[in-house]
Structure formats: C-alpha cells, structure tokens
Amino acid sequence: MGIYISSYLFTFEGFEMSKKNPIVMISSYPPRLCGIATFCEEAREFIQEANPDRDVLVISHTDGEGEGVFPIIDMSKHDWWKPVYKKVKELDPYVVHLEHEYGLYEYCDSRGKGDENQGFLDLLGAIGKYPTVVEPHTVHGRLRDFEANFIYRMCERSDVVLFKCNYQKWRLDWTFSGYGWKTPTNIMVVPHGARPDKQWMNETIPELREEIGLNKYPSIGQHIVGLVGWIQSNKRWDILTNMWEEIVQEIYDRTDQEWDLLAAGTMRDENHKHDYERYKQQIEILEKKGLAHYYEFIPRGELYYKIMAICDFIVLPSLDETQSGTLARVISLNKPYITTAPLEGLTSQTLISEGGLLFTNREMLKKNVIRLACDEDLRHNMSSNLDRYLNNVVSWHVIARQYNEAYELANKVKATGEKVNLPPEF
C-alpha cells in the first residue's frame, strides 16, 4: 500500500524519543470549556491506545495545556495558521488529524468582519504534503451557501473527511448536485465516539448518590429523570420543567412511585446567562415543592458520568444540535433517553440505536416521559439496545480503528497520487 511511515527523533520535555512519525491532532483542547476540546482529549486517549508505537500530539489554541500539547493557535492574528504549519513541518507527522468547528478558526478583523474560516483552508493548503484527515463537527443537512462552499473547498484540500452521520453524506450529495457541483468521494462516516468503560452496576448507585451528596436531600426519590449538561439557551430545560409537576403526579397516580427531576450542570457562555438564570429559577421553584433538585457542576470528567449514572433516564430537550457530546455520555452509560426530533444527529442516532424516544411537541414529550417512567421493561430493552450499539458501533475502540483506516487511506493518497474514491451512501 506504500504507507507513509518512517522513524523520527526529537527532544520533548528533557528526554529523547525515537518512534515512528507521530499522529498530530489540531484542535481546541482542555482546560478550555469547549465540546470540541473535550472530544479531542477523549479521542486522543483512544487513538494513542490504538497506536502504541506513535506519539499522539496536539497543536491547540493558546489556552490548551498538557503533555504533548503545543498551544500556538492565536486567533487574534489573521495569519494564525503560519506558526501551525511550521510546527507541523517540525513534527513531521504520519498524519495530521484536524478537528473542525467554524467558531474555532474564524478570524475577525478590527471591524468585526470574519474571514469565513479562510485561514483553516490556507492551513490545509500549506500542509498538503502530509496526509490530512479533517473531522468537521458541524455539517447541517440544509447548508447555507457559505457552509456549502467551505465544505467543498475543505474536501478539495483534504485527503479524507470524516462525517459523523450517514445523513450528512447523502444530504451533501443532494445539496451539491443542486449547485451543479461534483460531490466529493473522500468522505467517510465515522460516528461520535463513546467511552466503553463508564458503567456502574445497579447495586453501586446508592454509593454514587452518597458520594455526590444527594442523600442529604430527603425529598430526592429513588427514581430520577435527569437534565444534565451545559446550560445553554438552545438546551430548553424549561420545556420539561414547565410541565414536570403535572407529569410527576400522573406517574404517581399510575405506579405509586415517586419520581424526581435532577437538573445538573452550569453555564459556560455569558451570552446564555439570562436563560441559565431562568431555567435555574424554575428548578428552584420545583425544589421548594420537593419535586426536583438543582446540582451545580462543570460537565466534564468522571463526575459527569456519575451524575448521569444515578438517573433512570435522561431528557435532552435541545433545539439546535448537530451532534451531542452529552448523548455520547448517555450512550456510554446505556441510559434510555428522550430527545427532540427532527434534529439531525440526535434523531439519526436515536433511530439507529433504538435506545431513545423522540418528541416533536410538548404533549409528545409529556407522553414519552410518563411512558418511560411507567414501563421498566421498556427502559431495560432500550438500555440493552444502547449496550449493543455502544459495543458494536460507537465505542472509542471501534472508532479508533476507523480513524486508523482513514489514516491509511490518507497515506495511500500521498504514496500513489490517487485520490480516495469511496462509494456514495445511496
């Protein structure tokens, strides 16, 4: 196949390493409170596990930190990509794996006018001698003109492009044919990864409740519906909280079971402060009635999983989400869930996994919350479906192997000069 492989030697933090060429990721990175940063950190862990003979290094924005992380992306400069190119050249990678989100690479001038991610395209052009794999995290089914043009040019400059869902690929074919453009053939579908190592047995849930501190609230019942994650305007917690009192009464009338609502998370963007305070106030009103509890925490790390683990099921009432890191955690825990439809990635994964219920209006949400709370067998079946989906489709172990396939394809392009030619979805 002529894979682009060689050894390299360089000094890092005082010691010398001699390995095969590294995998270099370009992305935002923690401690930045950013979904892509968290995604990159998690993906890197499993890519490294799948490639023990290579270092997996990260070129990040200036607020990234950690071993093997080079925080040099300075978006205050119009030519931010030039130092990135120099670092890539210095590292001499086996492959460059870029995580893309429009907001991460948009340079704005003194008038506040953006460059429509031109710097990202310039970077792809500059590093074109190296195998490149781009993973865009926002590919809407109905693209704006700017988005369509950007994706077309991005695909031209990349060896392999990774979409998260099948619908994104077949919708792109429809969109591009409408413009009279040729659809790229270098697009693979690789789902959002989910951790396979974050599950707790039912008998350990009381310990988790004690650890988190919920047991000190006597009003919290044994059965919990969770609203968990970053509190943003588009994550419409109020849709559920406005009808929760009525829902919980109907569940009790049918089952004699007491259910409570656990709303857990915090705000990360000041632009969402008004809605954050409004959602929180609604929870506090319910809390005074003994029907809900608000738990403030930063949705990252082990605690994120533990809070979800103590819930019987999760509600994701999002109004704008192409792909959700929150859903990846729900899947990791095999938790049944309810989410909005039609809503791109959320709906797609719900249909494929058969692990959740969908709603498209308030009455449907109410009906499905009551249904899921009253039917333990349904919850068990959905959990089993999610377990199969996790192990067979979206486990990071599976995704890391697919990444390696993409890396090999990208290297083959450089070795042979022949572009990737993958079949269309339909």
Decide if pLDDT at 83 tops 50. Answer: yes
112 dihedral zone (left: phi>0; alpha: psi -120 to 50; beta)? left
Query: What is the number of helices (H) and of strands (E) in the chain?
Result: 15, 14
pLDDT score, position 214 = 82
Contact by Cβ (8 Å): 226, 262: yes
pLDDT score, position 412 = 98
Element (H, E) at 369: helix 362-374
Instruction: Encode pLDDT of 368-393 as tens digits.
Output: 999 999 999 999 999 999 999 999 99
Please state, in angstroms and as integers, the Cα–Cα distance from residue 157 to each residue in 34, 220, 246, 359, following that order: 26, 54, 54, 39
Q: At what angle do helices 376-389 and 344-353 cross, to 10 degrees?
A: 100
Instruction: Encode pLDDT of 168-225 as tens digits.
Output: 999 999 999 999 999 999 999 999 999 999 988 888 888 999 998 888 877 787 899 9
Q: Which fold has domain 7-193+396-416?
A: Rossmann fold (3.40.50)
Instruction: Encode pLDDT of 15-54 as tens digits.
Output: 444 579 999 999 999 999 999 999 999 999 999 999 999 9
Under the banding of pLDDT at 50, 70 and 90, the label for residue 5 is very low
Decide if pLDDT at 323 tops 60. Answer: no
Q: pLDDT above 70 covers what percent of the chain? A: 95
Q: What is the number of residues in the chain?
A: 426
**Residue 87, Cβ neighbours under 10 Å: how many?**
17
**Residue 50, Cβ neighbours under 10 Å: how many?**
18
pLDDT score, position 254 = 97
| Segments making up each domain of the chain, as ranges | 7-193+396-416, 202-394
Amino acid (one-letter) located at 413: V
Please tell me the distance from the alpha carbon of residue 179 to that of residue 161, in angstroms, as a whole number: 20
Alpha helices per DSSP H over 180-233 = 205-212
Q: Comparing 9-13, 21-25, 65-69, 210-214, which segment has the lowest mean pLDDT?
A: 9-13
Q: pLDDT above 90 covers what percent of the chain? A: 86
7-193+396-416 matches 202-394 in fold: yes
Decide if pLDDT at 310 tops 70. Answer: yes
Alpha helices per DSSP H over 237-324 = 237-241, 244-255, 273-288, 301-309
Contact by Cβ (8 Å): 206, 408: no
Q: Residue 20: is it exposed, middle or buried by C-beta count within 10 angstroms (0-12/13-18/19+)?
A: middle
CATH code of domain 202-394? 3.40.50.2000
To the question of pTM greater than 0.85 for the whole model, the response is yes
Q: Which long-range contacts (CB under 8 A, 24 or more apart) does 298-306 make?
A: 298/33, 298/266, 299/228, 299/229, 299/230, 299/264, 299/265, 299/266, 299/326, 300/30, 300/33, 300/38, 303/212, 304/228, 304/329, 305/195, 305/198, 305/329, 305/332, 305/333, 306/200, 306/208, 306/211, 306/212
Decide if pLDDT at 76 tops 90. Answer: yes
Look up tokens 């990846």; give the residue: 328
pLDDT score, position 8 = 47
Instruction: Encode pLDDT of 110-140 as tens digits.
Output: 999 999 999 999 999 999 999 999 999 999 9
Enter the tokens of residue 333: 């825990």
Closest CA to 293 of 226, 243, 233, 236: 226
Decide if pLDDT at 6 tops 60. Answer: no
**Residue 397, Cβ neighbours under 10 Å: how many?**
15
SS3 89: helix
Under the banding of pLDDT at 50, 70 and 90, the label for residue 322 is low
pLDDT score, position 264 = 95
Decide if pLDDT at 3 tops 80. Answer: no
Q: Which residues pair with 95 in a beta bridge?
A: 23
Strands (E), 310-385: 313-316, 337-340, 356-359
Please tell me the distance from the alpha carbon of residue 258 to that of residue 223, in angstroms, as a whole number: 7
